[in-house]
Amino acid sequence: MNEIVQDDVIQDARVHHRIRWRARRGLLENDLLLKPFLASRLESLSVDEIQTLDRLLLLGDNELLDVLMGRKGGANAATDALVAQIRKT
pTM of the model: 0.84
**Mean pLDDT, range 57-84, rounded to an integer:** 94
* Number of domains within the chain: 1
Q: In sequence order, which residues have a C-beta less than 8 Å from that of residue 22 and are 6 or more positions away? A: 54, 57
Q: In sequence order, which residues have a C-beta less than 8 Å from that of residue 33 and are 6 or more positions away? A: 68, 86, 87, 89
* pLDDT number for residue 73: 87
CATH number of domain containing 17: 1.10.150.250
Q: Name which residue leads in pLDDT, 66 or 1.
A: 66
Per-residue model confidence as pLDDT tens digits over 9-60: 556 888 999 999 999 989 999 999 999 999 999 999 999 999 999 999 999 9
Q: How many CB atoms lie within 10 A of CB 59?
A: 19
* pLDDT number for residue 82: 97
Its domain, for residue 27, covers 2-88
Q: How many CB atoms lie within 10 A of CB 31?
A: 14
